[in-house]
Amino acid sequence: MRTAVCSGSFDPITLGHLDIISRAAACFEKVYVCVSPNAEKKNQMFTPEQKLLLVRKAVEHLPNVEAELYGGLLADYAAAREAVIVRGIRNGTDFDAEYQLALINRGIYPQLETMILPASAEYQHFSSSMAREMIRYHQPLEKYLPTSIIPLVRDMTEHKGE
């Protein structure tokens, strides 16, 4: 079975993320979405459990996709599933960072492959940071987030701090 892993902090999952996951799902028999709590990232809006819930809701229409929380090394997660790592890139800066990570992962597990998918043109400017700003300022989210998660996002952020 050909298996892929798409990973990220998904704070929150955007249409750009979903595009990469959907394209991977069309190429692989099984895709795991590895939701990684990234303590290094500042200004996170959602808890790891909320991120997982949002990702699961966003991918529920993809029968060969499953989302899980994982706090360890992505290389360990992918190797345990004998999976290819699929990463999306928006620009040259993303490519440089992903290329370096791919080399590091191959240093840990020589059999571990990374496939890089360029972002679709309509999502090249997307980022979770931008989506968080749209959420904070109560802007329409339909252009940025999967429609299925918008009510959850609004509910999670409106009741934050209560």
Calculate mean pLDDT across residues 141-155. Answer: 96
In the chain, % of residues over pLDDT 90? 90
For residue 90, is pLDDT > 50? yes
Nearest to 69 by CA among 32, 21, 36, 31: 36
Residue 110 one-letter amino acid: P
162 versus 116: the higher-pLDDT residue is 116
pLDDT tens for each residue of 10-33: 999 999 999 999 999 999 999 999
Q: How far is 99 from 80, CA to CA, in rounded Å?
A: 21
For residue 162, is pLDDT > 60? no
Which member of 2, 41, 143, 154 is catalytic? Answer: 41
Domain ranges of the chain: 3-158
Calculate mean pLDDT across residues 44-63. Answer: 96
By CB neighbour count within 10 A (0-12 exposed, 13-18 middle, 19+ buried), where does 144 fall?
A: buried
Q: How far is 80 from 133, CA to CA, in rounded Å?
A: 36
Q: Name the one residue in this structure whose structure tokens are 């939701």.
A: 35
Segments of the chain assigned E as strands: 3-8, 30-35, 65-69, 83-89, 114-118
Tell me if residue 90 is catalytic: yes
Q: What is the pLDDT of residue 56?
A: 98
Which member of 56, 90, 120, 148 is catalytic? Answer: 90
pLDDT tens for each residue of 98-116: 999 999 999 999 999 999 9
Q: What is the pLDDT of residue 158?
A: 86
Work out the mean pLDDT of the chain and round it to a whole number: 94
Tell me if residue 42 is catalytic: no
Tell me if residue 143 is catalytic: no
Residue 45 contacts residue 11 (beta carbons within 8 Å)? yes
Which member of 7, 9, 17, 51 is catalytic? Answer: 17
The H or E element spanning position 16 is helix 15-27
CATH hierarchy code of domain 3-158: 3.40.50.620
For residue 42, is pLDDT > 80? no
